Amino acid sequence: MARKVMHAVWYTGYGGGAAGLKHVEIPIPSPCKDEILMKVEAASINPIDWKIHNGFARPVLPKKFPFIPLSDVAGEVVKVGPGVKKFKAGDKIVSTLGGPSAGGGLAEYVVAKESLTVPRPREVSAADGACLGIAACAALHSLTVTGGLKLDKTKPRTNVLITAASGGVGHYAVQLAKLGNTHVTATCGARNIHFVKSLGADEVLDYRTPEGAALKSPSGQKYDIVVNCTTGIPWSTFKPNLSPTGKVIDITPSGGTFWNCAVQKLTFSKKQVTPLLVNPSAQEIGFLVKLVKEGKLKTVIDSRYPFSQAEAAWAKSIEGHATGKVVVEL
C-alpha cells in the first residue's frame, strides 16, 4: 500500500461535545497476526461512544488519550495479518472492533480482529452493516439470551414491551421480537408512532402521554419480557405491567437497577429486572447480517454524514432524538 498516513477524528480529553473532536492525519495502522486492515466505508455512532467522551466511565475508559471513537464499522479488507485465514484483500466485511471501549472506527483505516469480523454480502450495504454491532446485538441479546425468546413462531405467545422503540436499539428490537410468536407493545414519541407500527409493533404508546408514561398496554397485555432502551422509568412503573414471571432487561441500568436486581434475587421474586451490558460477538453479527440479507431485518438510518462532518453526526446522536441510526460515511 503506497499511502502511509490517513485522516482520523479523535479527542484528547473528556468533555467538549462535538467541539472536542479533532480531524488529524496519523499513520495508517498495521495488522498483527490475527488482524485485518480495513478501509472503512461506514461507521455508526452509539450513545456509549459520546458517553465515554463525557467521562461516564472515567478514569477507566477510554483506555488512553488521544482516542479515536466508534467501534461499529463496515468496509473492505486492504491487507491481512499472517494468521488470518477467513479473509483476503478486497473482501467486504462488517466488524465490531471490540465493543465501545475499543474505538478506532472514525478513521479512513482501522485494524480489526478476524474473530470480530464477518463477511458482508452484496445485499448488505456498508452503512446498514456498520449499524449491526452494539445496537442490533443489544436488541438480539436482550430478547433471546437474557429474555429467552425464540425467534420462530412455534412457541407459545410472548408479550413483549420495547421502550424507545424508535431509537437505534429499539427499532431492531421490535423487528427481531416480531420474528418470534409475540405481541409487541412499544413506546416512542408521537411523531414516530406510524414508523414503529411499520416495523411490526402491534400497539404503540406515546411516551409523553399518561398512558405511555405508565407503560399500560392499550389491549391489557401483561409483559413477559421488557427491553428497556430508555432511562428514568422506576421499577414501580414496570412491576404492575409484568406477567407473574415477567422480566425487565435494562440496557440503561442505573444504581437502582442493580439494587432491585439484588433484592429480587435474595427474595426469590418471580418478577425481575436484569441489567445488561452487551459485548457484540461475530456470531451474533453474522446472524444479524444474514437476517438483513434475507430481508427479515432492516437497518433504519436516521441520518448519514460525510467524514468531514463527523462532528455534526456526533451532535445529532447526543441530541437523543434519532429515528434509527446515525452513520458516518467515508
Footprint of ligand NAP (CB under 6 A): 46-48, 134-135, 138, 163-164, 166-170, 187-189, 192, 207, 229-230, 251-252, 276-278, 317, 320-323
CB 189 within 8 A of CB 166: yes
CB of 119 to ligand NAP, least distance (A): 24
> And the C-alpha cell for 101?
471501549
Give the nearer residue to ligand NAP in terms of CB position, either 70 or 134: 134
Give the nearer residue to ligand NAP in terms of CB position, either 14 or 119: 14
Q: Which residue lies nearest ligand NAP, judged by its C-beta?
A: 189
Q: Which of 121, 106, 36 is nearest to 71 (CA)?
A: 106
CB of 142 to ligand NAP, least distance (A): 8
Which stretch of DSSP H or E encloses residue 300?
none
CB of 159 to ligand NAP, least distance (A): 18
Q: Which of 71, 74, 198, 79 is nearest to 124 (CA)?
A: 74
Give the nearer residue to ligand NAP in terms of CB position, either 181 or 279: 279
Give the nearer residue to ligand NAP in terms of CB position, either 9 or 161: 161
For 156, counting Cβ atoms within 10 Å of its Cβ (0-12 exposed, 13-18 middle, 19+ buried), the class is exposed
CB of 321 to ligand NAP, least distance (A): 3
CB of 317 to ligand NAP, least distance (A): 6
Give the nearer residue to ligand NAP in terms of CB position, either 41 or 284: 284
Which stretch of DSSP H or E encloses residue 187?
strand 182-188
> And the C-alpha cell for 268?
426469590
Longest distance between any two alpha carbons in the chain, whole Å: 64
Q: Rounded to an integer, what distance in angstroms lies between the CA atom of residue 231 and that of residue 173? A: 17
Give the nearer residue to ligand NAP in terms of CB position, either 70 or 84: 70
Ramachandran region, residue 103 (left: φ > 0; alpha: ψ -120 to 50; beta: rest): left
Interhelix angle 47-54/310-319, nearest 10 degrees: 90
Q: Which of 138, 145, 73 is nearest to 102 (CA)?
A: 73
CB 47 within 8 A of CB 70: no
- Bridge partners (DSSP) of residue 42 are 74, 329
CB 142 within 8 A of CB 251: yes
Give the SS3 label for residue 278: coil
Give the nearer residue to ligand NAP in terms of CB position, either 88 or 208: 208
CB of 188 to ligand NAP, least distance (A): 5
Give the nearer residue to ligand NAP in terms of CB position, either 11 or 172: 172
CB of 264 to ligand NAP, least distance (A): 19
CB of 275 to ligand NAP, least distance (A): 8
